[in-house]
Structure 1
Amino acid sequence: MVSPTAKQVFIQGVTKDGRTFRPSDWAERLAGVMSSFRPGGATPGSHLSYSPWCVPNNINGIKCVVVHTDLRESEPMAWDFCMNFARDNGLQVVEACLLPDPPQST
């Protein structure tokens, strides 16, 4: 269960027993399915980019999907789809906050 104060959850590509989840492009597939769920709704061509509410990422060498909790408020069924995907596949889900990269010094 995700706490009501969390802003993001990470669905990690590691099962609860520590195995790497397959197929290797699972994060891109999940985020692709969720691409039409975005602030303001789907627009022509929105399927060509990821939704800001559901973005694939690689954190510390672990493939994951960062799901923003605004999705839960705007599209509860889409949120449930993501959480059920994680549960059905035994994936680890953690509450976290994705921090921006520090500015590059020149």
Structure 2
Amino acid sequence: MADPINTSKPAQEFFILGLTQDGKQFRPSDWAERLCGVMSCFRPEGSGGRNAHLQYSPYVLPTMLNGVRSVVVNEALRQLDPLAYHFVVNFAKDNDLQVIDACLLPEPGTSKT
């Protein structure tokens, strides 16, 4: 089965920032890694292999955005598992976290092949 992430156009993603709507830092400090750990089983069919449980899902990844601990969520998760997608979206809503629609672009000088 082909990877559901469409590589022919920039990935449609959004960022959950570790900041509440009023600008306060979200706690605990490892919240992004915890959320991504919970979502680690959501991956393209056949990926991950024997040690898949030790890897983050390619759809929900921890990152830093301008010095703020964040999670980048790929919209492909919605097609793969709508309930998992809504879990992540509701996590942000329930915790009053800032969400930014975006897409990750490749680093200058690199190419995807």
Report the TM range for the smaller structure's normalisation: 0.7 to 0.9
- Aligned pair partner of 2:89 in 76, 83, 86: 83
Give the C-alpha shift of residue 43 in structure 1.
4.9
> What is the TM-score with the length of structure 2 in the denominator?
0.81
**What percent of counterpart residues are identical?**
56
- Find the residue that maps to 1:27 and give its secondary structure: helix
Q: In the aligned structure 1, how far is the partner of 2:58 from the partner of 2:83?
A: 17
What are the within-5 Å matches in structure 2 for residues 1-106 of structure 1?
7-40=12-45, 43-103=49-109
Give the C-alpha shift of residue 103 in structure 1.
3.0
Q: In the aligned structure 2, how far is the partner of 1:89 from the partner of 1:51?
A: 22
Deviates more, 1:82-91 or 1:34-43: 34-43
Give the C-alpha shift of residue 52 in structure 1.
0.5
> What is the TM-score with the length of structure 1 in the denominator?
0.86
What is the one-letter code of the residue matched to 2:38? Answer: V
> CA RMSD of the aligned region, Å?
1.7
Query: What number of residue pairs does the alignment pair up?
Result: 99
- Find the residue that maps to 1:45 and give its secondary structure: helix
Q: Structure 1: 5+ residue runs without aligned partners?
A: 1-5
Q: Structure 2: 5+ residue runs without aligned partners?
A: 1-10
Q: In the aligned structure 2, how far is the partner of 1:90 from the partner of 1:27?
A: 15
Runs of 4+ in 1 over 6 A off after TM superposition: none
Q: In the aligned structure 2, how far is the partner of 1:64 from the partner of 1:103?
A: 25
